[in-house]
Structure 1
């Protein structure tokens, strides 16, 4: 089997990971029904009709997400929670959410000018998937509150949405680290950009109530500073801006255009910012009770996988 630059080996793509068009259609219809119900409420339409549309839409979204997630291979639950052991607390231990990307050494100088356009079909699909992601996160939170378990099929679906988004970001405007067009799938593939989250065997019930907004607040502020717009006033009184991450990617693109070289220092920093952002998203999406580390883990790969020690 061939390896990607940097020594990582692409994961085999299991037949069971094929996406179901029926389940994807269920999510799309559910999103549209949900949007339709909001229009009904906004225009003082029949309340009963709006409620029926909303309930039907939410049900279709959850059914579609569960169906897509059930067809995906799982990442094994964290052994530390299954075997009565605790993770090593070394600061170099790897976080359960793992984001990696291998830089293509043969990037074309000019293709980045059109990648955002080529990625439009992905953006359209992801718009529907991210709505489903939010609905599934709320449904999973209610389930965790009463059972302390994140439904496996819904967990795999949400990880798949983040994985798909990361591949598109790595290809287009987020990193521009490869010229390989990303696949239309939630599943793991041999694509040079990968993302996974270990599913915990058990989650805290009470943390569901405060994790996404209170505990995560310091990380949300930092991620906002790194990826949010830095605003400036314009002559006509308006504002415009570019995030620090966007600025770094733009500088990288200009250097690539004129020199044909993607600077590794910039690549490592861009990867670190994205890694921090995706860890924060996975935590606020209730996928882990492990608090994200306050560190910028740069480079294409995660720190070494953490070891476990007996209690």
Structure 2
């Protein structure tokens, strides 16, 4: 008895290969104004302001989506619809303004698709996304595309440079092509069709990469410049017949996209506003927490053994006989006379000489000016890029060394003297000299303060961060939950 072997099934290839899941389409308006494009920057300001807030919310929802994909392999549909809506809104504004200049019809203020508007963007919702790719695709895998997109929108070159070699004018490849189209439109009344096709191809490339790095798809963007207002048909797919509502597609012989469905994502104006406000609060919470962490690091790393928050040492030099600080003016109200001590506490000034003994003193500004009136000295104005900046005063040597003066509120002498002084109301000045009053000073100086209020500031910042995060999370979660319920 012989057994006929069962043939191994051969997988059947998909007869209709799928297009890239980010669809960017546009129709060129036939009757564009010659000069309106010159003022579209002004007309679009309202959109730019709104989009600034929407993109902030986009960043927050993308972070939430990142963790959702990492743990569940799913992009929350409500967040997906919102982020697609932000990209769609941005594309309409770019198409109207200086991303294409393809229409004079003012963009609508909505996240939803508007079927009769000449610019459209859709992204196919992914049922499942890779948990591993979400960790690397938005930065590592996208690097080649970042380099290409940088040429498209980041600046192809600099046309004008200032005296400090800083660029005063830069223009991107898309911007250059749109400028050419605008000039041609101004003088001929026609938008060059070849330029339009290239501009749409470049924008399509940029938007595909944007959707990929925004975690909306795992399919790597193709390195292909698909030109024209509508995406080219997929090889092997049946031809698409342009609907009657797309006269421009028929006139230019381009395949028309499928009809655009009316978006019913549930993102009403109120829900969008709540999400944006929540995102602002979340960003504020992160900023507050970041400031608190920075202060904690400074508190832990910059305090010395005596509890003073101390600056790094700075080398001060002069050929004169003294180095002084700018006058410090301390004024307090009677009701707030303890405020400097509560906020700053005692201050400390230390100097380490490279030669003989060094004198460090803090005294009334008027007495210091009288003592150094005819003395050659330098006043430290600021430290700029690590280099001290001085204001020089000419003169001779002091009549007596600083150690013989009696007006000092605090003073110390030695090879590495340290002065600790309790703040007091008045005008004060710090002085560094050689103890014998001789010329040529070279010392390493550090200043510090107790800053007892720092611990309170850190605690308040953390509390503010927690409250902002809680309120922001509520304002984000409520509209997302409402949209999710509506869509299900």
User: Are positions 1:250 and 2:175 aligned together?
Assistant: no
CA distance in 2, matches of 1:211, 1:88: 29
Which of the two has greater helix per residue? 1
Q: How far 1:236 moved relative to its partner?
A: 1.7
Partner of 1:223: 149
Partner of 2:84: 159
- Which structure would you say has the larger RCO, counting Cα contacts within 8 Å and 6 or more residues apart? 1
User: Are positions 1:297 and 2:221 aligned together?
Assistant: no
User: Are positions 1:194 and 2:123 aligned together?
Assistant: no
Q: How far 1:304 moved relative to its partner?
A: 2.3
Helix, strand or coil for the counterpart of 1:241? strand
RMSD (Å) for aligned C-alpha atoms: 2.0
CA distance in 1, matches of 2:62, 2:236: 29
Question: Which of residues 133, 136, 158 in structure 2 aligns to 1:207?
Answer: 133
The structure whose Rg is larger is 2
Q: How far 1:231 moved relative to its partner?
A: 3.6
Contact (CA 8 Å) 1:94, 1:303: kept in 2 or not? no
Question: Which of residues 68, 88, 104 in structure 2 aligns to 1:179?
Answer: 104
Segments of 5+ residues of structure 1 without an aligned counterpart are: 1-83
Partner of 1:115: 40
Taking structure 2 as the reference length, the TM-score comes to 0.44
1:254-279, Cα deviation, whole Å (9 max, x unpaired): 00000001000000000000000000
CA distance in 2, matches of 1:203, 1:257: 47
Partner of 2:161: 234
Partner of 2:31: 106
Count matched residues. Answer: 223
CA distance in 1, matches of 2:14, 2:138: 23
Helix, strand or coil for the counterpart of 1:212? helix
CA distance in 1, matches of 2:16, 2:106: 38
CA distance in 1, matches of 2:45, 2:13: 44
CA distance in 2, matches of 1:272, 1:305: 16
Partner of 1:124: 49
User: Are positions 1:168 and 2:93 aligned together?
Assistant: yes
Contact (CA 8 Å) 1:87, 1:306: kept in 2 or not? no
CA distance in 2, matches of 1:87, 1:214: 31
User: Are positions 1:288 and 2:213 aligned together?
Assistant: no
Change (3 A) 1:88 1:215: farther
CA distance in 1, matches of 2:23, 2:218: 15
Taking structure 1 as the reference length, the TM-score comes to 0.68
Contact (CA 8 Å) 1:94, 1:306: kept in 2 or not? no
Q: How far 1:235 moved relative to its partner?
A: 4.4
Contact (CA 8 Å) 1:88, 1:306: kept in 2 or not? no
Which of the two has greater strand per residue? 2
Q: How far 1:220 moved relative to its partner?
A: 1.0
Partner of 2:389: none
Change (3 A) 1:271 1:138: same
CA distance in 1, matches of 2:110, 2:94: 14
TM superposition outliers: structure 1 runs of 4+ over 4 Å: 84-90, 305-308
Change (3 A) 1:155 1:85: farther
Change (3 A) 1:113 1:196: same
1:196-247, Cα deviation, whole Å (9 max, x unpaired): 1000110000100001001111111100012111343524232131111111
Change (3 A) 1:284 1:87: farther
Q: How far 1:148 moved relative to its partner?
A: 0.2
